[in-house]
């Protein structure tokens, strides 16, 4: 039997996925199964680790951004998270992700 989707709220800044929004604004509304939320939380944790690596690397001057593996790792995890937001989000979330222009639109399910 297929698991029922529930409504969740994602605060991208804090990396929190909540059952109720902490603030009236500043979150994405998602409809997901428990397994999909588990995968999203894992991706958020990976992104946090990648972000910590970029912090340490930021103190090394004159290193090109796009050639740094920590920056590439961070960018890739962010793209994965935004792809999940697009996939699981309400129409407002989908529109926001599309407006950012960071995902290959030809690969998105519309």
Q: Where are the domains of the chain?
A: 33-107
φ, ψ at 32 (rounded to 5°): -150, 160
Instruction: State how far the Cα of 16 lies from the Cα of 22, in Å rounded to an integer.
Output: 10
Instruction: Give 25 or 94, the one with higher predicted confidence.
Output: 94
* Alpha helix segments (H runs only) across the chain: 34-57, 69-88, 91-100
Query: Half-sphere exposure of 97 toward its Cβ, with a 13 Å CA cutoff?
Result: 28
pLDDT of 62 reads 63
Q: Distance of CA 60 to CAs 9, 25, 57, 63, 109, Å?
A: 36, 36, 6, 7, 40
- Checking if the pLDDT of 64 tops 70, the result is no
The band of 107, judged by pLDDT with boundaries at 50, 70 and 90, is: low
Give the tens place of pLDDT for each residue, 93-106.
Answer: 999 999 999 888 76
Q: pLDDT higher for 2 or 66?
A: 2
pLDDT digits (tens, 9 = 90+) for 30-55: 999 999 999 999 999 999 998 888 87
- The model's confidence at residue 23, banded by pLDDT at 50, 70 and 90, is confident
């Amino acid at each position: 039997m297929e698991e029922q989707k529930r409504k969740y709220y994602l605060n991208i800044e804090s990396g929190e996925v909540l059952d109720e929004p902490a603030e009236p604004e500043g979150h994405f509304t998602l409809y997901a199964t428990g397994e999909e939320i588990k995968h999203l939380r894992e991706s958020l944790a990976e992104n946090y680790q990648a972000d910590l690596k970029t912090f340490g690397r930021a103190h090394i001057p004159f290193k090109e951004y796009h050639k740094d593996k920590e920056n590439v790792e961070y960018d890739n995890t962010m793209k994965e998270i935004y792809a999940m937001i697009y996939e699981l989000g309400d129409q407002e979330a989908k529109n926001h992700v599309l407006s950012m222009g960071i995902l290959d639109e030809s690969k998105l399910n519309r």
